[in-house]
Amino acid sequence: MAADEGIKQLVSTLPTKPDCNSTTNLLYQYQGFWYHQYYLEHLIAAQTHFTPEPNTTILCSYPKTGTTWLKALSFAITTRTHYTPSQSPLLSRFPHDCVPFFELAPSAARNKSLVATHIPCTSLPAAAAASGCKLAYICRDPKDVVVSLWQFLRKQKKEEDDAEDADMGIEEAFEQFCEGNSFAGPYWDHVLGYWRACLEFPERVLFVRYEELKRETERCVKALADFLGCGFSLEEEKQGIVQGIIDLCSIESLKGLDVTKNGRFAPTDSMPYTIHNSSFYRKGEVGDWRNFLTEEMGARLDNIMADRFAGSGLGLWFSASNQETTN
């Protein structure tokens, strides 16, 4: 869906900043967050036109926090009565195609019970709150997020520019992230929006921590299934259905598929570029930031997050995350 002239006019009036991290030169500030023009135009259109059903679940995330993994798990859980792991559409279709971003692919998302978004909670379409639909949000240690986002956009920028000088340093990307000016940032406000919604509407909003999903995958997958309204029976557990879904949706499994190796992500014809599906997977490890950031950089970001999360109840979550990356 192409943006109409009214949306384009609105976007042209917004504050902008250069983006060191992307093929797109500018980031536009809208409702307190920063976006590339193409994405923002679709976001604004979705605020008016997207209307979920009461039984819809929206998988919400900041980029590079476990989005693809959450999509794969949720899709496999909700379709398990139709497909065994060996028959799953995930073997031939990318998770972003199975669970479309409603702001980028509104036609594909229409009438779907499972959709996804990177939109902050405070900017979700009003119809989402009015419908009573559920939100499942995944977050991750910001130090790993900034590295994963840098690697993803760095690879994309090299593909688009086809030049070695298209590379950008981690220091520059880190600084932009710490200032809150990266895509969909500030990260802390993105997290806090969904955290507060979870506290206010715990029956409608699930808050998932990537590190916990990695450490206690089976328990988290069963909790996700319960939230999605299709919990596992004791018989299914005995039959190994839970573990079968975990294995199907593992990074190792999904990375090796032909659709990952050779497919490309292009949710709409108007998207100005396409993305290799393989770009959405890297290591998925907890604490990999130590291979790219200095201890001083890590401590600086920790302090920023501790200050931003103060009084929210997220301090305990953040402390636990830091503890896991040091063990």
For residue range 234-250, list pLDDT tens digits in order. Answer: 999 999 999 999 999 99
Q: Which of 42, 118, 190, 276 is catalytic?
A: 118
User: CB neighbours of 7 closer than 8 A, spacing ≥ 6?
Assistant: 41, 44, 45
Which residue's entry shows tokens 């384009």?
Answer: 8
- Please list the ranges in the chain whose pLDDT falls under 70: 1-3, 21-24, 157-167, 267-273, 316-327
User: CB neighbours of 200 closer than 8 A, spacing ≥ 6?
Assistant: none
Picking from 173, 56, 37, 176, the residue whose alpha carbon sits closest to that of residue 117 is 56
The confidence score (pLDDT) of residue 264 equals 83
pLDDT (tens digit per residue) in 94-124: 999 999 999 999 888 888 999 999 999 999 9
DSSP notation for 31-86? TTEEE-HHHHHHHHHHHHH----TT-EEEEE-TTSSHHHHHHHHHHHHTTTT--GG
Q: How far apart are CA 21 and CA 167, in angstroms?
A: 9
- Residue type for position 49: H
> Is 96 a known active-site residue?
no
Compute φ and ψ for 191, nearest 5 degrees. Answer: -65, -45
